[in-house]
């Protein structure tokens, strides 16, 4: 397996500073089956745990617990962590064709 270099992580960190890229990063990760906690961990790493804690008004240990794959955070907690990044989790319709109405 190829090792990720610091340059790769630095490049990802720079890309994650863009709001559109952040949204696509989270959506892409979820579509690929990456656990939400892993994707959020990358976002938190970009800003830093202390800064995320300050922005969310959540203690750092609570953020770390929510991002731990062994825990099952609530939707409220996940959205609270996403909020400083201008994101929130939601549900969308997929693969459904619009219904025709009789004329």
Query: What is the tens place of the pLDDT at every residue in 47-87?
Result: 889 999 999 999 999 999 999 989 999 999 999 999 988 88
- Angstrom distance (rounded) from CA 59 to CA 75: 17
Q: 95 pLDDT exceeds 70?
A: yes
Report the pLDDT value the prediction gives residue 17, as an integer from 0 to 100. 79
What number of residues does the chain have?
Answer: 103
- DSSP-derived letter for residue 93 is -
- Residue 51 token pair: 């800064």
- Rounded Cα distance, 84 and 19, in Å: 11
């Amino acid at each position: 397996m190829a090792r990720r270099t610091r340059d790769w992580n630095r490049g990802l960190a720079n890309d994650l500073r863009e709001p559109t890229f952040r949204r696509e990063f989270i959506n892409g990760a979820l579509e690929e089956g990456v656990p939400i906690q892993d994707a959020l961990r990358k976002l938190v790493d970009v800003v830093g745990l202390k800064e995320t804690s300050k922005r969310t008004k959540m203690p750092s240990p609570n953020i770390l617990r929510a991002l731990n794959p062994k825990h099952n955070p609530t939707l409220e907690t996940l959205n609270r962590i996403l909020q400083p990044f201008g994101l929130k989790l939601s549900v969308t319709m997929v693969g459904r064709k619009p219904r025709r109405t009789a004329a």
